[in-house]
Amino acid sequence: MDRTVVITGASAGIGAEAAVELARRGDHVVLVGRNPGKLAAVVDRIRADSGSTPDSYVCDFAVLADVRRTGDTIAAAYDVIDVLANNAGLIAKKQESTVDGHEVTIQVNHLAPFLFTSLLLESVRAAPEGVIITTSSAAHTHGWLDPDDLDFQRRRWSRWRSYSDSKQANILFTTELTWLLRQSSVVATCFHPGVVRTDFGDSTGLFRLAKKLSPIGFVSPSQGASTLVQLATTDAGRDIPGGYFDSGQVSRPTSRAVDPDLAERLWTVSASLTAP
Which of 57, 78, 163, 244 is the catalytic position? Answer: 163
Measured distance CA(60)–CA(122) in Å, rounded: 22
Burial of 175-208, coded b for 16+ CB within 10 Å and e otherwise, reads: bbbbeebeeeebbbbbbbbbbbebebbeeeeebe
Q: Which residues pair with 33 in a beta bridge?
A: 58
Measured distance CA(63)–CA(34) in Å, rounded: 11
Measured distance CA(137)–CA(17) in Å, rounded: 18
Residue 57 annotated to the active site: no
Measured distance CA(271)–CA(230) in Å, rounded: 30
Sign for the CA dihedral angle at 273, 146, 118, 226 comes to: positive
Measured distance CA(238)–CA(142) in Å, rounded: 28
**Active-site positions?**
163
